[in-house]
Structure 1
Amino acid sequence: MLGQRAALAAMLFICALIAFCLVATAALAQPCFPRDDVLARLTKGYGEAPRAMGLTKGGALMEMFASDDSGTWSIVVTLPSGLTCLLDAGSHFQPIAAPPEGYPT
């Protein structure tokens, strides 16, 4: 249980860091759509489910979605306006049970 919490905390930290770095440009450079549309596309179209979430300093909600079956993943940010923007997506998702040895926790 503690290992899973540490893994989730590490994943959340990484996602929050990415979101913090990219959220300022998300609305300008990335496709943004109503939240329900984005979530339906991720869950129904790609089989992805929520894996981590956090709030940015700017008040946006950052979420990471992933699929164990296909290995796809997506990071989205929902802005205070209600629009959800795709920050990035990829493949080969692997959940981690614990931070790598030597990784600060």
Structure 2
Amino acid sequence: MHKTLTSLAATAALALIAGAAPTQTQAQTRNCGDHAQVVERLASGYGESRQSIGMGADNTVVEVFASLETGTWTITVTAPGGPTCLVASGQAYQNLYEDLPNTDQGA
């Protein structure tokens, strides 16, 4: 149950931030940096690798990094030509491959 709630929280956070391109002011107040440096830090410091990637509003790139061994996860947002910012992190990450629910109303 706890793992499912954590996954739901991560999904909700991703949905909320997908449209939030980091501005210069936000970049100064968040943990932001060069994309290659952020990826290296997540890999070397936390054992996290990219698990998913998608495009958000205003062509932002939203990425989820996670360690399948430790369960830590981090969500980043990268603005076009801008910094990569850490926007959420947590524990108990798990990959889910769920089928769509059956929405047929019957015959």
| Cα RMSD (Å) | 2.8
Larger Cα Rg: Structure 1 or Structure 2? 2
Of 18, 22, 34 in structure 2, the residue corresponding to residue 20 of structure 1 is 18
Instruction: State the 1:51 CA deviation.
Output: 0.8
1:93 is paired with a residue whose SS is coil
Instruction: State the 1:82 CA deviation.
Output: 3.1
Q: Distance in 1 between matches of 2:66 and 2:76?
A: 11
Instruction: State the 1:83 CA deviation.
Output: 0.8
Gaps of 5+ in 1: 1-12
1:83–1:24: structure 2 CA closer, same or farther, 3 Å change rule?
closer
TM-score by length of 2: 0.69
What percentage of aligned pairs have identical amino acids? 30
Instruction: State the 1:57 CA deviation.
Output: 1.7
- The equivalent of 1:36 in structure 2 is 36
Q: Distance in 2 between matches of 1:67 and 1:41?
A: 13
Contact 2:14 2:75 in 1 (8 A): no
Instruction: State the 1:23 CA deviation.
Output: 3.6
1:91–1:25: structure 2 CA closer, same or farther, 3 Å change rule?
farther
Contact 1:16 1:56 in 2 (8 A): no
Q: Distance in 1 between matches of 2:58 and 2:22?
A: 9
Query: Which consecutive aligned stretches of 4+ in structure 1 deviate over 6 angstroms post-superposition?
Result: none
Instruction: State the 1:96 CA deviation.
Output: 1.1
* Partner deviation per Cα, 1:14-45 (whole Å, 9 max, x = no partner): 67523325445796142211111100011111
* Equivalent residue letter for 2:15: L
- The equivalent of 1:3 in structure 2 is none
- The equivalent of 1:98 in structure 2 is 98
Gaps of 5+ in 2: 1-10, 103-107
TM-score by length of 1: 0.70
1:23–1:35: structure 2 CA closer, same or farther, 3 Å change rule?
same
* Equivalent residue letter for 1:38: V
1:33–1:56: structure 2 CA closer, same or farther, 3 Å change rule?
same
